[in-house]
Amino acid sequence: MTAHVEAGQRTQLPPVRAHRDRPFGIYIHVPFCAVRCGYCDFNTYTPAELGGANPDGWLAALRTELRLAAERLGAPPEVQTVFVGGGTPSLLGAVGLGAVLDGIRDHFVLAPGAEVTTESNPESTSPRFFAGVRAAGYTRISLGMQSTASHVLAALDRVHAPGRAVAAAREARAEGFDHVNLDLIYGTPGESDEDLLRSADAAIEAGVDHVSGYALIVEDGTALARRVRRGEIPAPDDDVHARRYELLDRRLGDAGFDWYEVSNWSRAGGECRHNIGYWNGGQWWGAGPGAHSHLDATRWWNVKHPNAYASVLDAGELPVADFEVLDADTAHVEDVMLGVRLRTGLPAATLSDQERDRAAQAVRDGLLRAEGPHLVLTDRGRLLADAVVRDLLT
């Protein structure tokens, strides 16, 4: 069920509560970017698109949302994970990111050993930046590397130099971060197998404990989609994606990384706890323009533009654009869709009798295997994860 809002009305969030027996996280969305990457369809804004909005105004509005969130939850549970994403959070600098974390601490209690992550773009970091965010209380850094090949970075409209992400990862490690992630994108037009392998090797040699690898997707409305439509570059190829995934998986596996989600590999203890919360259907409050939240069976999302976001909060209201209450069938579909992607697997007991029959066929087809009470994707099944989900549910 989804709530729809008439023109001129504001959406009122229904009652929600956070369960103390389940992990609780906070996501912070930073909407600022220096430039827009051609493949990106996230809710981000360059300076020319902000219409007067600025980081100081955003931070003031964010503090208000965090206060209202804590008031709405009453006695919120301890925060197990924080993830500051974007956009480009590192544009706030260490002082700004420290202020974000202070805003959370003003109204919530961080659990002992809480995981606190910030995304960062390599070109807006430095040893001083990493020292500052480490001192502020961040425990994990996630860097957008994408590739070490200059022609791949150019195709993606990335502005950092090919070696900057690796240098940034080493700087973060030198400043005391045990947990550092590098994001890779594979399947970009013009990329070769060797380009990807060199990027994977560079990530491994940087000493990080986590790598994420994503197939390039052409999203509607992006500059990349317009270039593909005009025939300037070819659309990404599914067969190439599959081969590159296998290459990346093998290279990372040989270096001691294990997959724990279809697109994520880590050394022991390096898993991103915040994202595991998403995949396990956990509970989190998303603060910031366009941020999504999930509590009880309710999912909601904020108004997108920073100016509209601040305006609603100035009026003393939560900046909710819309919400939906998940019924049992929808929640089941999402449990299957997300659970099957995890290395821990999908509990067979969550499936209906018909779905278990389909799962047995997937086992016979070599796409799933039974590990105790769980169903886990095989290597071939990971390449066809979306199809496995569709077959289980239909």
Give 88's pLDDT tier (boundaries 50, 70, 90).
very high
**In the predicted model, is pLDDT for residue 8 greater than 70?**
no
Q: Are 271 and 210 in contact (CB under 8 A)?
A: yes
**In the predicted model, is pLDDT for residue 7 greater than 70?**
no
**In the predicted model, is pLDDT for residue 371 greater than 90?**
yes
3-class state of residue 329 by DSSP: helix
**In the predicted model, is pLDDT for residue 75 greater than 90?**
no
Q: Tell me the longest C-alpha to C-alpha distance in the chain.
A: 59
Interval 192-198 mean pLDDT: 98
Give 30's pLDDT tier (boundaries 50, 70, 90).
very high
**In the predicted model, is pLDDT for residue 4 greater than 50?**
no
* 393 token code pair: 């549910």
* 85 token code pair: 């994403």
DSSP letters along 284-299, please? EEEESTT-EEEETTEE
* 183 token code pair: 């994001």
Interval 49-53 mean pLDDT: 83
pLDDT single digits (tens) 98-123: 999 999 999 999 999 999 999 999 99
Nearest to 179 by CA among 134, 136, 140: 140
pLDDT single digits (tens) 329-361: 999 999 999 999 999 999 999 999 999 999 999
Interval 144-169 mean pLDDT: 94
Nearest to 272 by CA among 384, 165, 139, 376: 139
Helix (H) or strand (E) holding 104: helix 93-107
**In the predicted model, is pLDDT for residue 6 greater than 70?**
no
Interval 162-170 mean pLDDT: 96
Tell me the average pLDDT of the chain. Answer: 94
3-class state of residue 171 by DSSP: helix
Nearest to 89 by CA among 294, 285, 287: 287
147 contact partners, CB below 8 Å, separation of at least 6:
153, 156, 158, 162, 184, 185, 188, 191, 195, 196, 199
Least confident of 52-61, 133-142, 318-327: 52-61
Predicted pLDDT of residue 161:
87
**In the predicted model, is pLDDT for residue 1 greater than 50?**
no
Q: What are phi and psi of 252, to 5 degrees?
A: -70, -40
Q: Are 37 and 94 in contact (CB under 8 A)?
A: no
Predicted pLDDT of residue 5:
37
In the chain, the domains with their CATH numbers are 24-280 (3.20.20.70), 327-393 (1.10.10)
Least confident of 7-21, 77-91, 303-317: 7-21
Predicted pLDDT of residue 21:
85
* 90 DSSP assignment: G
